[in-house]
Amino acid sequence: MAQIGCLKDILFVVSSEQIKTFDKMQWGGSARYSTHKRHLYHALTEFTGIEADTMSFEMNISTYLGVEPMAELVKIWNYERSGEPLPLVIGEKPYGKYMWCIESHQIKMDTYDKVGNLSGAIVSVKLLEYLDY
């Protein structure tokens, strides 16, 4: 089994038994500015700091790829609802300045088995940078 990364215990793996990877990963950040309006003068723009970075990606999880969708979804729900900071590692590199929190998720339920259980989904996850200082 080749583990290509993880978000704490949400593993990204590729093997003959299991495929669970990320797709369409995006990492973004922005600066924060204030504009001070002055009577009869030009407005003054002031740099006031840096917003927390965001990261988003999709995961295709399917029993046909060796992954139990509901087990993975429960992990995501629990981390999102607890606000627990999570380390994100891809390859051998940790991403971000410290850790990430799951800010939101979207689930596109794709396939079901013969008795109606979810067998495949595409999960979009949005992370928010969490700093420890």
pTM of the model: 0.83
pLDDT at 122: 94
What single-letter DSSP state applies at residue 114? T
Burial 75-106 (b: 16+ CB within 10 A, else e): ebeebbeeeebbebeeeeeebbeebbbbbebe
For the chain (133 residues), the mean pLDDT of every run of 10, in chain order, is 86 84 93 94 95 95 89 95 95 93 95 92 96 82
| Dist CA 77 CA 95 (whole Å) | 22
One of 3.40.50.2300, 1.10.3720.10, 2.40.30.200, 2.60.40.420 is the CATH number of 2-130, namely 2.40.30.200
Residues sharing a CB contact under 8 Å with residue 22, sequence separation 6 or more, in sequence order: 5, 12, 57, 58, 59
pLDDT at 1: 64
pLDDT at 97: 92
Q: Which two tokens stand for residue 66?
A: 């060796």
